[in-house]
Amino acid sequence: MNLWNKAALLKQLWALLFKQDKLWVRWVHAYYIKRGSIESVTVKSNTSWLLRKILDTRELLRDIGGWEVVSSLQKFSIKRTYKLMQDNFEKVSWRRLTCNNQATPKSKFILWLALLNRLATVDRVSKWNRECSTLCKMCGIQNESVQHLFFDCDYSKSVWSAALQVIGMSPESTAGGELRKAVQKARSKRSKNRLYVMLCTECLYAIWIQRNCKHFKGILLSPIAVVKEVLFKVACNCNENDRHRLLLT
């Protein structure tokens, strides 16, 4: 957001130079710049806060290479400017899984945290010098981690199996295999693949909710009840054709 704000301020600086038919630009030139130039005008103590911020971007403009790299055909591009100011980061393989996804925002957020291994599972909590049992909150047999909680736990396996059976698919044997399949299908526009991505996202969120309910309230719904809630959420967010497919099942 900080970089985007700077790119937007640069657009206002560009307007001061190239949009002098605008009333506010003419006012700035008349009262602040006068007969000087944008490049050399001094920021004074009586200059408004907003104009100071706009003029402060002159140094940023020089750093990224001048107007030629951020504008074309007399148009300024905030998007191009924003990308120029960004560092070069490697694109993650699962970016389409979080962006090209029609699931509910909360479920996509939990999916994102799970992909980054940032959920507060007990294997992570125990590293924060907290005394707690590391066993899974739902099965109580193995240590709880993202992989175990969502893919290896018997409860989770039952949820995955029942949910994916609705669209005629079966869960993968490993967490990596399930995620690779979801990433691959997130690139597709086919109806069945869209449903698969939504079901996976909502199932993962539902399992996390049940884990917290078991831990804090001692309540755990049956896998069938969880799947019914998942199917309801998917039906509410998918298009009419996909909803019809779910109703037929």
Q: Tell me the pLDDT tens digit for each residue of 131-161.
A: 788 899 899 899 999 999 998 999 999 999 9
* Co-location of 78 and 139 in the same domain: no
* Co-location of 144 and 242 in the same domain: yes
Q: Which H or E run includes 76?
A: strand 75-76
* Co-location of 178 and 100 in the same domain: yes
In the chain, the N- to C-terminal Cα span, in Å, equals 44
The answer to whether residue 136 is domain-embedded is: yes
Distance CA 232, CA 243 (A): 10
In percent, the amount of the chain with pLDDT more than 70 equals 95
Judge whether 160 and 171 are in contact, CB under 8 Å.
yes
* Co-location of 131 and 175 in the same domain: yes
CA angle 227, 229, 235 (to 5 degrees): 100
Picking from 3-17, 157-171, 230-244, which range would have the lowest pLDDT averaged per residue?
A: 230-244
The interaxial angle of helices 240-248 and 223-237, nearest 10 deg, is 150
* Co-location of 131 and 211 in the same domain: yes
Question: What type of residue sits at position 63?
Answer: D
Least Cα distance to 138 among 152, 128, 127 occurs for 152
Residue 249's pLDDT band (cuts 50, 70, 90): low
Per the structure, the complete domain to which residue 203 belongs is given by 95-248
Q: In the beta sheet, which residues pair with residue 76?
A: 71
Q: What's the structural domain count of the chain?
A: 2
From 58, 85, 112, give the residue that closes a domain. 85
* Co-location of 63 and 154 in the same domain: no
The answer to whether residue 90 is domain-embedded is: no
> How high is the pLDDT of residue 229?
94
* Co-location of 128 and 202 in the same domain: yes
* Co-location of 99 and 18 in the same domain: no
